Amino acid sequence: MSASGLSRLLFGADPKLRRMMFYWSATAALYTVFMGLLVEVGQRGLIDRGDALGLTAYAGGGIVLSYLLVRLGARHGLAPTGAAALQAVFGITCNMWAYVITGPFRAATLMGLMVVVVFCTFALRPRQTLALTAVGLVGMGTTMWWHQLHDPAHYPPLVEAVTFAIMAGCSLAVTVLTGEASKLRARLKAQKEDLVKALDTIRILATVDELTALSNRRHMNEMLAEEERRHVHGAGSPDRETCIALLDIDFFKQINDRHGHAAGDEVLRSFAAAARAELRANDVLARWGGEEFLLMLPDTGEAAAKLVVERIRARVGRLLVDGVTEERGISFSAGLTARRGAEALADTVNRADKALYQAKSSGRDRVIVA
């Protein structure tokens, strides 16, 4: 199995899961270092070797269990916050155990509580982190109180009280600071999401006609340029050329003058919806300006292209728009032509425009092929 395959097997393929697994890996590495130091201290006889091995085994089992919680938790309905909270409580119990068995080194173990709080910043909300800190302080405070009560020679009450006060103050300060950091992360994430939405909106406004939801002229010009590049690089069909059609709604100015611009807008929307329904997968229709539309039909001969335009004309002729179609149906004139050789598509569009003029001057409601 390749390294990437093994990585997907162990840590999953979902980016969010892999991020959680990264946090688990950092935690596991930290536990491994701490437990290695604990075993070394036990080997040197500075603390009880059996106690050190017992805590090491407990921590190792917890690391394995936390891996399973993170790796499989989402599949079984365990939210990341739940997995993080369980791991944090486990970390607190390790901290309590370490404080009891490490003798002269026990003060150093108190920093572990703050490490637990910092790691939970990435998964828990500020109030949840504060509640976790409270759980940790209660657990550590109970442990310290119990030992100063039952073994004052090794756990002097005054020393334990001062130690707890310093630990509590530092833990609460870290909790407040990490809470503020968490809020800042949340705000930055929200701002990023708003920015992404704004960019999507800008992208839509830059490429889509607001009234008809078709491509706008700017975007169609980009599509025409892309079509030219496609043929230059040999991606187009060698025996079928691109066709261009210009469609112009007949007597549109009269519709606006007689029925108002609201009715005219409804005609444009209805026309766009009807035309879109007859397009094939690769056809592109754009609002070219006013009541004029440009249709690009890639890899299509003139005969097939005319069939598409005629289908559109038939569907548009059946449109019903309140107040407009009662006296005259909706129709359009069209000029259709195929690109000749490697000519610029702008020249093809100009030729389609001349064919459109012929269609309008010869009575409208027809398709002229040039």
Q: Could you report the per-residue pLDDT of 11-50, keeping only the tens digit for each?
A: 777 787 787 888 888 888 988 999 999 999 999 999 999 9
- Give the separation between CA 187 and CA 51, rounded to whole angstroms: 45
For residues 44 and 160, state if they share a domain.
yes
47: left (phi over 0), alpha (psi -120 to 50) or beta: beta
Per-residue pLDDT, averaged over 96-117, amounts to 88
Q: Which residue segment(s) compose the domain that 359 sits in?
A: 217-369
Give yes or no: 228 in active site: no
DSSP H or E segment with residue 335 = strand 332-338
For residues 194 and 228, state if they share a domain.
no
pLDDT at 128: 86
Q: Do residues 87 and 66 touch, judged by C-beta distance below 8 A?
A: yes
pLDDT at 230: 82
Q: Do residues 174 and 115 touch, judged by C-beta distance below 8 A?
A: no
Structure tokens at 351: 């030729």
- Give the separation between CA 66 and CA 64, rounded to whole angstroms: 5
- Picking from 145, 151, 118, 159, the residue whose alpha carbon sits closest to that of residue 27 is 118
pLDDT at 353: 96
Number of domains in the chain: 2
Has residue 208 been placed in a domain? no
Distances in Å between the Cα of 355 and the Cα atoms of 244, 335, 352 are: 11, 4, 5
Has residue 350 been placed in a domain? yes
pLDDT at 74: 64
Per-residue pLDDT, averaged over 207-227, amounts to 93
DSSP state of 201: H
* % the chain with pLDDT above 70: 96
pLDDT at 140: 93
- Give the separation between CA 324 and CA 246, rounded to whole angstroms: 23
For residues 131 and 227, state if they share a domain.
no
For residues 241 and 343, state if they share a domain.
yes
Q: Do residues 250 and 331 touch, judged by C-beta distance below 8 A?
A: yes
For residues 116 and 233, state if they share a domain.
no
- Give the separation between CA 234 and CA 236, rounded to whole angstroms: 6
Residue 154 pLDDT > 60, yes or no? Answer: yes
pLDDT at 325: 63
For residues 169 and 81, state if they share a domain.
yes
For residues 177 and 267, state if they share a domain.
no
For residues 68 and 22, state if they share a domain.
yes
Has residue 207 been placed in a domain? no
Which residue is listed with tokens 């940790």?
A: 136
Q: Report if pTM > 0.75.
A: no
pLDDT at 81: 77
Which domain CATH number covers 334? 3.30.70.270
- Give the separation between CA 216 and CA 348, rounded to whole angstroms: 19
pLDDT classification of 235: cutoffs 50, 70, 90: low
- Give the separation between CA 221 and CA 215, rounded to whole angstroms: 10
pLDDT classification of 233: cutoffs 50, 70, 90: low
Q: Do residues 334 and 368 touch, judged by C-beta distance below 8 A?
A: yes
For residues 159 and 19, state if they share a domain.
yes
pLDDT at 119: 78
For residues 137 and 167, state if they share a domain.
yes
For residues 284 and 338, state if they share a domain.
yes
Residue 161 pLDDT > 70, yes or no? Answer: yes
Asked which of 127-141, 149-163, 229-243, 318-332 is least confident by mean pLDDT, the reply is 229-243
Residue of 160, 227, 241, 291 with catalytic role: 291
List, edge to edge, every strand of the sheet that includes 292-297.
Answer: 284-289, 292-297, 243-249, 332-338, 367-369
Has residue 99 been placed in a domain? yes
Residue-wise pLDDT tens digits, 257-298: 888 889 999 999 999 999 999 999 899 999 999 999 999 999
pLDDT classification of 178: cutoffs 50, 70, 90: confident
DSSP state of 38: H
Residue 354 pLDDT > 70, yes or no? Answer: yes
Has residue 255 been placed in a domain? yes
- Give the separation between CA 37 and CA 332, rounded to whole angstroms: 84
Residue 231 pLDDT > 80, yes or no? Answer: no
For residues 171 and 227, state if they share a domain.
no
